[in-house]
Amino acid sequence: MLKFDEFNQLIKDFSSIADFLIIYIEEAHAVDGWAFKNNVIIKNHRSLEDRKIAAQLLQKNHPLCPVVLDTMENLSSSKYAALPERLYMLQGGKVIYKGGVGPWNYHPQEIRAILEKLK
């Protein structure tokens, strides 16, 4: 997550009124796929155990919310068009915010603005 610290700050500021969750999905830039140079070395996930190991790298950044794994069928990624990353906000089981595709259109400040109004 490009703006991980900003996301963690949202959790600190709004955990009293919102629940947060990270779903670790398929790797967008796997070294055995389409990878950036100088990126974290993660191979395409061939099993749920591979995905779990990759998610543990994210855990080293100390997210302030639970991290769960998408299925190997990539159900969450597919349903929410989340690859490589995307923010969603749900209220009462309905999507009230669908962010742009990250990393360039990943804007935690848009979530902040919505949550400020809900305070």
The predicted model gives 46-74 an average pLDDT of 89
Percent of the chain with pLDDT over 90: 47
Residue 53's pLDDT is: 86
- pTM for this model (two decimals): 0.81
The pLDDT score that the predictor gives to residue 3 is 84
> What domains are there in the chain, each with its CATH number?
4-118 (3.40.30.10)
Give tens-digit pLDDT for 18-34: 999 999 887 765 555 55
HEC string of the chain equals: CCCHHHHHHHHHHHCCCCCCCEEECCCCCCCCCCCCCCCCCCCCCCCHHHHHHHHHHHHCCCCCCCEEECCCCCHHHHHHCCCCCCCEEEECCEEEEECCCCCCCCCHHHHHHHHHHHC
Average pLDDT over residues 5-15: 95
